[in-house]
Amino acid sequence: MALTILCVTFTLLLLLGVPVAFSIGLSSLATLLYEGLPLAVGFQQMISGMNPFSFLAIPFFIFAGEIMMYGGIADKIVAFAKSLAGHVRGGLGMSNVLACTLFGGVSGSPVADVSAMGAVLIPQMKKEGYDADYAVNVTTHASLVGALMPTSHNLIIFALAASGKVSIAALILAGIVPALVLTLCNLAAAYAVAVKRGYPSGTFPGWAVVGHSFVQSLPGLLVVVIILLGILSGAFTATESASVAVLWALFLAGLVYKKLTREQLLKAAAKAVKSTGSVLLLIGISSMFGYLIGLYGVAEATGKLLTGVSSTPWVIFLWVNVILFVLGTFLDMAATILICTPIFLPICQQMGMSTEQFGIVMLINCALGLNTPPVGTTQFVGCTIGEVSVGTVMKTIWPFYGGLIAALMMVTYVPSFSMWLPNLILK
């Protein structure tokens, strides 16, 4: 009965439009009251959930991304992407994909990626004759790659949700090839739609311009290299790498590009504080929810249910993907990761999937959820910038969606996509 109260209350609150964090918290409190447990138990779980030292990486990565966004780094990346792909059919769309992918590697946040790249590229694409729905779909889908990049704080959240069963270095490496696969799928979808709609191609500016724009953008892109080399060499931990990313972002924005004013720094800090507060509140409340899920044996019951449906690994993986995708359309990435990892990770491990591979599958599903109503954070941001309705965008989303689902299936059923690089470098 207590589990029914937990799930039904949570679902009803979501349907009523209550924010996800409050839906999780109120349903957990209702369950604690029904059970007669002290409310202090729930608050202790919240505090312990937010307390791990590794979570210091979250505010640092968020702050680094905000500094990059305000510090002129986005402009350099856009210029490089346009010089590289602007001459192809639908070149501005292709440039958009590359720019969002590159900036996603710098910011590590799909929402920040859409906000920064979308504000520059969506109006520009519309001005040059591209349809608003195409501009929004290209931007929002390309931005999802940021969830797999080394600067993504969601990698840290998954590592902790997995109860320390995964190496941060291995998880970061596991996301690189899937990120490349997602980018190629986005490029293919953008090109196919551009050809179908007859969008124009630009003029190649020459390799000298490409080289110059690459040199201009290289300092910003180096943040990914610094993080990877630092962690793999043992120079610093994943948590320390986030603080290094902040120092590098401050150095670039303040001294190299000289675009970061005092007011912009304060805005970046304020947005980072707000985002960090939201994420940590969600982590704490999800920890309370996760405690109750563990108390009532939801993981074990779900495992028995899925193995009762089939004992074939590929069928189980398909069901897990479907469930994660559906939940991702209602929940924030952090909430989905924290709630679902303890439930589905043991099941997938029993079927032969490694922790790192499951982590990447989880992140791709959560990223797809960011671009799917009713929550669809990145899609709503993109539609707001593009001044187009969500319904209009959803009518033409399928080529882009199909590409990302194809990439998800490849990562799910071909372990080498995610595990080749960790196995090559770490073993």
Query: What's the structural domain count of the chain?
Result: 1
- In the block, which residue shows the tokens 């790249």? 117
7 part of a folded domain: no
Q: Is the pLDDT of residue 358 over 90?
A: yes
170, HSE (Cβ side, Cα atoms, 13 Å): 19
Residue 231: CB partners within 8 Å, gap ≥ 6?
150, 168, 169, 172, 237, 238, 241
C-alpha pair distances (Å), 82 with each of 117, 125, 219, 271, 301: 12, 12, 18, 29, 51
pLDDT at 291 over 90: no
> Residues with Cβ < 8 Å from 134, sequence gap 6 or more?
93, 125, 193, 194, 197, 199, 396
Segment 2-51, tens digit of pLDDT: 778 887 888 788 778 777 778 888 888 888 888 887 878 778 878 777 77
In sequence order, what are the residues at sequence separation of 6 or more whose Cβ sits closer than 8 angstroms to the Cβ of residue 407?
178, 181, 182, 185, 364
88 in any annotated domain: yes
Whether 79 contacts 264, CB under 8 Å = no
Instruction: Report yes or no: 400 and 141 within 8 Å, Cβ to Cβ.
Output: yes
Tell me the average pLDDT of the chain. 83
Assess if residue 14 is contained within a domain. Answer: no
pLDDT value of position 374: 67
Contact indicator for 186, 401 with CB cutoff of 8 Å: no
| Residues spanned by the domain of 370 | 20-426
The 3-state secondary structure of the chain, one letter per residue? CHHHHHHHHHHHHHHCCCCHHHHHHHHHHHHHHHHCCCHHHHHHHHHHHHCCHHHHHHHHHHHHHHHHHHCCHHHHHHHHHHHHHCCCECHHHHHHHHHHHHHHHHHCCHHHHHHHHHHHHHHHHHHCCCCHHHHHHHHHHHHHHHHHCCCCHHHHHHHHHCCCCCCHHHHHHHCHHHHHHHHHHHHHHHHHHHHHHCCCECCCCCHHHHHHHHHHHHHHHHHHHHHHHHHHHCCCCHHHHHHHHHHHHHHHHHHHCCCCCHHHHHHHHHHHHHHHHHHHHHHHHHHHHHHHHHHCCHHHHHHHHHHHHCCCHHHHHHHHHHHHHHHHCCCCHHHHHHHHHHHHHHHHHHCCCCHHHHHHHHHHHHHHHHCCCCCCHHHHHHHHHHCCCHHHHHHCCHHHHHHHHHHHHHHHHCCHHHHHHHHHHHC
Model pLDDT, residue 411: 92
- Reported as half-sphere exposure (CB side, CA atoms, 13 A), residue 353 has a value of 29
Highest mean pLDDT among 21-30, 141-150, 269-278, 305-314: 141-150
- Report if residue 6 sits inside a domain: no
Q: What is the pLDDT of residues 58-103, one digit of tens each?
A: 788 888 878 877 777 777 888 888 888 777 777 788 888 888 888 8
Tell me what pLDDT residue 160 has: 81
Evaluate whether residue 5 is within a structural domain: no
Higher-pLDDT residue of 166 and 53 is 166
> What's the average model confidence in pLDDT over 320-339?
82
Q: What is the pTM of this model?
A: 0.84
**In the structure encoding, which two tokens stand for residue 126, read together?**
């519309």
Residue 36 lies in a domain: yes
Domain assignment of residue 3, yes or no: no
Yes or no: say if 313 and 352 are a contact pair by the CB < 8 Å rule. Answer: yes
Q: Is residue 8 a part of any domain in this protein?
A: no
